[in-house]
Amino acid sequence: MRAFTRNNSVVGLTTHIERFLLYIATERGLSAAYQLSVRQSLDAVVLWLESKNVSDWNEVGIEDLSHFLSGQKDGGMSASSLRISMVHLKIFFRRLAALQVIDADPAEPLLPPRAEQHLPETLNEPEVASILQAVDTDKLLGRRDLAILELFYASGLRLSELCNARLENMDLDEGFIRVTGKGNKTRIVPVGGKAREALRNYLKNERPELVKSKTSSWVFLSVRGGSLSPERVRELVKQRARNAGIEKNVYPHLLRHSFATHLLQNGADLRVIQDMLGHADIATTQIYTHVDQKGLKSMHQKFHPRG
């Protein structure tokens, strides 16, 4: 059994932490917030090592670090926080090894935990239909708001893409709109029949009333004749959903998720959905296959006699 004296062990362990923090502050120029995050990670390790009667960094092995991280996980730490803690351990022990404080780097073999996969929320088709049907186009801005909602759902646009949409980039006869997405990448996205109908109605019967002397070619205009801000679009989407009696938190990206999920559920190819969403990597689009599988499982449990 290892000899252990609390005060000596803590002093021995924390001395190197203080030196390391000084190093990343002065030589690496890392922020105070980052230093605090590192300190919290390393202080947690010290407390755990105390409980295991470990009094020297040279006594720490890969098994010790693995057990420490497992305990953090069991205590409710998220995968993202575990990854951060592991990075702190790796840079700390790499520094100790470089200074020959320890004989070997025990953190080098550590593998990062798998990233948590959060499935996107979606609306089902009746919920989307109820939101669209609840918009009264005879009331002020009804035509505009319906066109916005229809375009979000028909084309899966990002909020910024919709706010920046311009008349010269839209061809309703052909049913396409050109948008600029992440990374300043341009793509052409189809616009469905219902969305084209709503857009034509808005462009003919409501947008002209919103135009002012300095109005540019934004598709969607505010009451002052300028472009709509992202905050205003989020607000009107939420309000239109509340008007339809939808209790979920409805926001623009939820309509984008619903667009992709409903396409997949109705048989669209994943690569086609990737192109329409403007995802650079197919792995990003594959999240919707998990949503679809979740829906299939739910349907099986609901309707199969032994589900």
**Phi/psi of residue 180, each to 5°?**
-110, 120
* 182 catalytically annotated: yes
| Catalytic, out of 94, 182, 204, 212 | 182
* 158 catalytically annotated: yes
Q: How far apart are CA 37 and CA 86, in angstroms?
A: 12
CA neighbours closer than 13 Å in the CB half-sphere of residue 266: 10
| Catalytic, out of 143, 196, 257, 288 | 288
Question: Which residues make Cβ contacts (< 8 Å) with residue 269, sequence separation at least 6?
Answer: none
* 153 catalytically annotated: no
Q: How far apart are CA 258 and CA 150, in angstroms?
A: 12
| Catalytic, out of 16, 256, 257, 262 | 256
Identify the bridge partners of residue 170 per DSSP, sorted by sequence position: 177
* 279 catalytically annotated: yes
| Catalytic, out of 158, 196, 207, 262 | 158
* 224 catalytically annotated: no
> What's the token pair of residue 52?
């295991």
* 23 catalytically annotated: no
186: enclosing H helix or E strand: strand 186-190
Q: Within 10 Å of residue 251's Cβ, how many Cβ atoms?
A: 17
59-65-66 Cα angle (round to 5): 135
Q: Looking at the annotation, which residues are catalytic? A: 158, 182, 253, 256, 279, 288
